[in-house]
Amino acid sequence: MRRLLQHAPLIALAVAATLAAARPPQERVLVLEGVRIIDGTGRPPIERGTIIIKGDRIQDAGPADAVSVPHDAERIDVAGRTVIPGLIDLHFHIEDDPKLALRQLSHGVTSFRDPGQWNEKFVELRRIIAADDLPGPRIFTAGPHIDGEHPAYPADSVVARDPEEARREAEINVREGASALKIYFRLPFASAQAVIAVCNAHHIPCTAHLEILDARELIDAGLQGIEHITSFGTSIVSRRTAQAYRQAVLADNNARRFGRYNLFAGADLDGQEARALYDALKARRPWVDPTLAVFERRAGQPVEGATREQVPTMVEGFAKMKALTRRVALAGARIVMGGHSTVPYATRGEAPWRELELLVESGFTPLEAITAGTSAGAGFLYRADDLGAIRPSFRADLVVLRDNPERNIGAVRTVERVMVGGRWVDVSRYRTY
Ligand SMILES: [Zn+2]
């Protein structure tokens, strides 16, 4: 003890030196003036707005006359532009293409979640981000998705044969960094319940690709999110029709490729099954990530892997998928945006934009679509308190658009600048990725 006291002045000096070194440099204050602000919450745009950014956060945002600009702020000339929060893509598959995440970043996607993948697949992306000293994109992972025997995607999943195995795999995913878990459709109901219980214990969302699992049962069991509007297929047809589809998919996972369009084409969105689904959604308000873009089929255009005779049914089924997306939202589901990386009618890195356009085609206003792609997505990440909106104290993840998307959602494609955590991204560089 005495010896320690003897050294006390030295220790104090060392502590002071450490503190000085750790203190961040004077935080830069940026101001974006004369911009239209679409804040991501669904509120009407602010026409002549000011946004103040200090460090990695939004310090203030609002109408020009309500925001005072600090004298030392650095002014950014973006007058006449529209600023929206950075987009959140909740269904991005990295696969073997880490550069795609950076191309999407240049398109305004500042956060993404991969719903089912091994951590090893993100090593290269994280390496590039570190090497380029990039502030983003923010990466959210779920670990490999949890499926039953004969999994649909063996390379991206772990197989659980009973609830105890499901619980163990879920716990391992969480321990290894998953901030969500995903149930896959061959997992039996009791095992799915075990995964939901793990999510609730760790306060992370549980999502699912249902397909042949029953949506109402799982929503009632506490499932927080649903991937793909097609997850509701067996919930909107008769029990007998649903059972035939279920058995076909259990016998062959590929039966779902055309089968789901067939199921939707024949579904009645006002039938008793659909109405029971809407009631369940109204009670629980889960997040629904429709991923419409991956299912888009157009009349008169050939579809890979389908016969010419199948195309009209697929077109009809897709129209019904869009209609159901609107119906589940009206019933209370919280719609989010998932681009699904590679989709038929979007070029590289543009799937999130296509998804927003398809939401508008489904009956949402452009502002509602932007909310799906921003604050609703943040809610599904359990980050509604600091991501996805242009509000004081939120992370400064912003997209500067040349055109106004309020009436034409296609304007989300006119990205001029992207900011993550208060830092601009070199958009032109990552556009080439
Ligand atoms: Zn997927």
The tens digit of pLDDT for each residue in 1-11 reads 444 444 444 44
Cis before 137 (ω within 30): yes
Distance between Cα 340 and ligand 1 center (Å): 6
CA-to-CA dists, residue 318 to 161, 308, 330, 353, 354, angstroms: 34, 16, 19, 18, 15
Distance between Cα 76 and ligand 1 center (Å): 38
Distance between Cα 102 and ligand 1 center (Å): 19
Distance between Cα 108 and ligand 1 center (Å): 20
Distance between Cα 418 and ligand 1 center (Å): 26
Q: Are the CB atoms for 31 and 50 separated by under 8 Å?
A: yes
pLDDT digits (tens, 9 = 90+) for 248-260: 999 999 999 999 9
**pTM as predicted:** 0.93
Strand partners, 227: 289
Phi-psi group of 112: left, alpha or beta (phi > 0 → left; psi -120 to 50 → alpha; rest → beta) = beta
Amino acid, res. 335:
I
Distance between Cα 163 and ligand 1 center (Å): 24
Eight-class DSSP state of 155: G
pLDDT on residue 5? 43
Strand partners, 139: 112
Q: How far is CA 262 from the centre of its chain?
A: 27
Distance between Cα 93 and ligand 1 center (Å): 7
Eight-class DSSP state of 299: T
pLDDT digits (tens, 9 = 90+) for 343-395: 999 999 999 999 999 999 999 999 999 999 999 999 999 999 999 999 999 99
Distance between Cα 318 and ligand 1 center (Å): 17
Distance between Cα 300 and ligand 1 center (Å): 26
Distance between Cα 379 and ligand 1 center (Å): 20
Q: How far is CA 355 from the centre of its chain?
A: 11
The whole-angstrom separation of Cα 136 and Cα 130 is 10
Distance between Cα 403 and ligand 1 center (Å): 31
If pLDDT is split at 50, 70 and 90, which confidence band does 24 have?
low
Distance between Cα 81 and ligand 1 center (Å): 34
Burial class (CB in 10 A: 0-12, 13-18, 19+), 25: exposed
pLDDT on residue 20? 46
pLDDT on residue 8? 47
Distance between Cα 207 and ligand 1 center (Å): 12
* Tokens, residue 220: 């009632």
Q: Which helix (H) or strand (E) holds 250?
A: helix 239-251
Distance between Cα 355 and ligand 1 center (Å): 14
Q: DSSP 3-state assignment of 73?
A: coil
Q: Are the CB atoms for 63 and 46 separated by under 8 Å?
A: yes
Helix, strand, coil % (nearest 5) of the chain? 40, 20, 40
Distance between Cα 183 and ligand 1 center (Å): 12
Distance between Cα 45 and ligand 1 center (Å): 33
Distance between Cα 141 and ligand 1 center (Å): 13
Distance between Cα 167 and ligand 1 center (Å): 22
